[in-house]
Amino acid sequence: MSAAENTMLNLSARRQRTWGKVLLHLLLLIGVVIVMIPFAWTLSTSLKPEGQVYTFPPKWIPEPILWGNYVDALTALPFGLYTRNTLYLAIGRIVGLLFTCSIVAYSFARLRWKGRDTLFFIVLATLMIPFEVTLVPQYVLFSEIGWVNTFLPLIVPAFFAGNPFFIFLMRQFFMSISSELDDAARIDGCGYFDIYWRIILPLSKPVLAVVAIFAFQNNWNSFLLPLIYLHDRDLYTLALGLNLFQEENYTRWTLLMAASLTIMLPVILLFFLLQRYFIQGVVFTGVKG
Amino acid sequence: MAESALSRTAGRSGSKRSLGWWETFYGWLFAMPWILGFILFTGGPIVAALLMSFTDWDIVNVPTWVGLDNFERMFLNDDLFYQALKVSTIYAVVSVPLQIVFGLLISMMLNVDIRGVSVYRTLYYMPSVLPLVAVAVMWRWIFSPDWGVLNWFLSWFGIRGPAWLADATWALPALILMSLWSVGGGMVIYLAGLQNIPTDLYDAADVDGANPWNKFWYVTLPMLSPVIFFQLVIGIIQSLQVFVEPYMMTEGGPHNSTLFFLLYLYRNAFQYFRMGYASALAWILFIYVALLTLLVIRSSAAWVYYEGELRK
């Protein structure tokens, strides 16, 4: 094969690759448009005067732009109170889950004891149990002890390592920490709790951050459990507030769009700021191809 | 000399045994939050649900034991039970495979070294982290028959779009379509799987003169099958827990065409206060999920490839 032929081949291969890349970008951009259009549509509607919503074909740029829709939507109901309730629940749940899931995971990952593997198998099995099976009896339990219409049914289970996935995630992470550290600490006279508290936890900040963020997001998005347990409007979370707002303004699209976009915004910000943690969550599970 | 060595080992193993005892003690102690939580909030309630399913109970009065009445009524006299089972099953059977196909496609496109790949990944992943309540409100407006953006888009092609959520034929397909919007959530898992495939497998395929399709079919897909299997099982379980969409967007209608199982269970328990009947529904669902999962696991022997596994 001559040198000229060789360059020709290289060129055509390179050209093919370039075209491949252009095509790929094109496909990916179509996907991005599909993902983004609902947001653009929501944003556009949320800024329109009520009358401009009902036009066909739709007008994408509102005239005039009514920022006041956001004020109207967010003052129609006490969304400030709902935000505080949501955050209060989030903090309670995160604290409970971080401490209890981590110590349970530590026990599964670092200590050797009879029955451990059986119990860990049950932890994994509970991942497969549809939660609605326990929904009714749990409600009965909490209603018998008078906890319905309080935050307790939503917070207390978190203090009993109430998320098997987080236990699994933390255990996987703890297993990857060198056990020589434990041995060294034990020679220095550290007990099992000291090792957990002074060695494992400080080294596990990445996985603790992942769990905290997932727990925050779960709590922000959670709907069915608050719906069942929180009846008093003073206890409503943002998700319940939005549902109530929809019931009261079923077709006031401008306000509905403003409210739902506002409730999405913190999660969107959190996601963009901390996206590497969202993605790391999967890496920690050690899912292999 | 020999004696002292012996006694030394004996001493060490003795201390090891007592160390082992402490380790067992602390092991159980530290696992206690989960053990108690399991008994109180998972294991106990599952047993309780079984007992409650044999009763008629409105939570205010004393429960009455009715034997198998609840199950008899469910199987022989309750059309809505079958409707709910049907809706949830159709949703699972259609949306889970679609989610897997699209999730896989997206992650394969994003497993390439091109400019801006991390921006694409971020944007595709984002819909899956959003609060479903807000997403549901948003999509109600997208599906609006006369003023919605979806039917506007369809009108470009001269298609007069259906009434979507207001049409008994199209309401369930609409919710399936909406579920595909957040399909990027599975992307991270597929990407992790794709990046774990050793490149020498592709090199070997190149040597054998494989084209891209061959490589996908004979290397990528088999190597990824455990991840797909995992997503299939999780997807089935999750699709039987769909609640927010029908509750907020269609209220199970029109004509019960989106009466998802969990919505029906919720109504029985928390609107009609039939705790016994709701528990019976929950247990049947539990068994149904277990059977479906078992079916998938059984079938997995035929199509899931585990590295290092010996094949006959």
Report pLDDT for B14. 44
Residue A265 lies inside a defined structural domain of this protein: no
Share of chain B above pLDDT 70, in %: 92
Report pLDDT for B118. 84
Residue A284 lies inside a defined structural domain of this protein: no
CB B270 within 8 A of CB B47: no
Q: Is pLDDT above 90 for B272?
A: yes
More confident residue, B17 or B223: B223
Report pLDDT for A116. 92
Report pLDDT for B12. 43
Report pLDDT for B2. 41
Q: Report CB contact under 8 Å: B37, A54.
A: no
Q: Report CB contact under 8 Å: B130, A264.
A: yes
Residue A100 lies inside a defined structural domain of this protein: yes
Chain A contact set for B155 (CB, 8 A): 57
If asked whether residues A107 and A124 sit together in one domain, one would say yes
- Identify which of A180-194, B85-99, B217-231 has the greatest average pLDDT: B85-99
C-alpha distance across the termini of chain B, in Å:
55
C-alpha distance across the termini of chain A, in Å:
40
Q: Is the dihedral of CA B118, B119, B124, B125 positive or negative?
A: positive
Residue A150 buriedness (CB in 10 A; 0-12 / 13-18 / 19+): middle
d(CA A191, CA A217): 35
Q: Which are the contacts of B257, defined by CB distance < 8 A and separation ≥ 6? A: B87, B168, B169, B171, B172, B250
Q: What angle do CA B219, B221, B223 make, to 5 degrees?
A: 65
Residue A259 lies inside a defined structural domain of this protein: no
- Pairing status of strand B55-56 against strand B64-65: antiparallel
How close A134 comes to chain B (CA, Å)?
5
If asked whether residues A223 and A244 sit together in one domain, one would say yes
Q: Quick check: helix, strand or coil at residue B144?
A: coil
pLDDT band at B7 (very low <50, low <70, confident <90, very high): very low
How close B179 comes to chain A (CA, Å)?
12
How close B194 comes to chain A (CA, Å)?
6
Chain B contact set for A129 (CB, 8 A): 42, 46, 286
pLDDT in tens, B24-39: 899 999 999 999 999 9
Does any CB of chain A come closer than 8 Å to the CB of residue B302? no
Chain A contact set for B34 (CB, 8 A): 100-101, 104, 119, 123, 160-161, 167
CB B140 within 8 A of CB B165: yes
Q: Report CB contact under 8 Å: B34, A161.
A: yes
If asked whether residues A143 and A195 sit together in one domain, one would say yes
Residue A18 lies inside a defined structural domain of this protein: yes
Q: Is pLDDT above 80 for B117?
A: yes
Q: Which of A27, A108, A136, A216 to mutate to test the interface with B (most CBs of B within 10 A)?
A: A136
Give the structural domain span for A167.
77-248
d(CA B141, CA A42): 8
CB B128 within 8 A of CB B256: no
If asked whether residues A38 and A167 sit together in one domain, one would say no
Report pLDDT for A13. 73
Does any CB of chain B come closer than 8 Å to the CB of residue A51? no
If asked whether residues A61 and A81 sit together in one domain, one would say no
Give me the CATH number covering residue A234: 1.10.3720.10
d(CA A71, CA B103): 38
If asked whether residues A46 and A156 sit together in one domain, one would say no
Q: Which are the contacts of A65, defined by CB distance < 8 A and separation ≥ 6? A: A47
Report pLDDT for A282. 67
If asked whether residues A104 and A37 sit together in one domain, one would say no
Encoded tokens for B108: 């394969």
Residue A142 lies inside a defined structural domain of this protein: yes
pLDDT in tens, A119-163: 999 999 898 888 888 999 999 999 999 999 999 999 999 999 989
Q: Is pLDDT above 90 for B16?
A: no
- Identify which of A176-185, A265-274, B178-187, B264-273 has the greatest average pLDDT: B264-273
Instruction: Identify which of B37, B141, B152 has the shortest CB distance to residue A257.
Output: B141
Q: Is pLDDT above 80 for B310?
A: no
If asked whether residues A53 and A97 sit together in one domain, one would say no
Residue A124 lies inside a defined structural domain of this protein: yes
If asked whether residues A18 and A161 sit together in one domain, one would say no
If asked whether residues A85 and A224 sit together in one domain, one would say yes
Q: Quick check: helix, strand or coil at residue B64?
A: strand
d(CA A277, CA B138): 27
pLDDT in tens, B132-145: 999 999 999 999 98
Q: Which of A132, A152, A171, A250 to mutate to test the interface with B (most CBs of B within 10 A)?
A: A132
Report pLDDT for A42. 92
Number of domains in chain A: 2
pLDDT band at B191 (very low <50, low <70, confident <90, very high): confident
Chain B contact set for A34 (CB, 8 A): 181
More confident residue, A134 or B112: A134
Instruction: Identify which of B37, B241, B266 has the shortest CB distance to residue A131.
Output: B241
Encoded tokens for A232: 């008093």
Q: Could you say which residues of chain A have pLDDT below 50?
A: 288-289
Q: Report CB contact under 8 Å: A159, B279.
A: no
Across B212-242, b (16+ Cβ under 10 Å) vs e yields eeebeeebbebbbbbbbbbbbbbbbbbbbbb
Residue B201 buriedness (CB in 10 A; 0-12 / 13-18 / 19+): middle
* Domain stop point among A69, A101, A116: A69
d(CA A181, CA A106): 14
Residue A272 lies inside a defined structural domain of this protein: no
If asked whether residues A64 and A174 sit together in one domain, one would say no
Question: Which residues 179-198 of B are in CB contact (within 8 Å) with A?
Answer: 181, 184, 188-189, 192-197
If asked whether residues A127 and A204 sit together in one domain, one would say yes
| Its pTM surpasses 0.90 | no
d(CA A21, CA A275): 26
Q: What angle do CA B174, B175, B177 make, to 5 degrees?
A: 65
Identity of residue B199: T
Does any CB of chain A come closer than 8 Å to the CB of residue B1? no
CATH of segment(s) B69-303: 1.10.3720.10
Does any CB of chain B come closer than 8 Å to the CB of residue A194? no
Does any CB of chain A come closer than 8 Å to the CB of residue B211? no
Encoded tokens for B170: 């199209």
Identity of residue B73: R
Closest alpha carbon to B269 in B283, B282, B259: B282
Q: Is pLDDT above 90 for B305?
A: no
Instruction: Identify which of B27, B278, B285 has the shortest CB distance to residue A113.
Output: B27
Q: Report CB contact under 8 Å: A135, B265.
A: yes
Report pLDDT for A4. 63
Report the pLDDT averaged over residues B287-296: 90
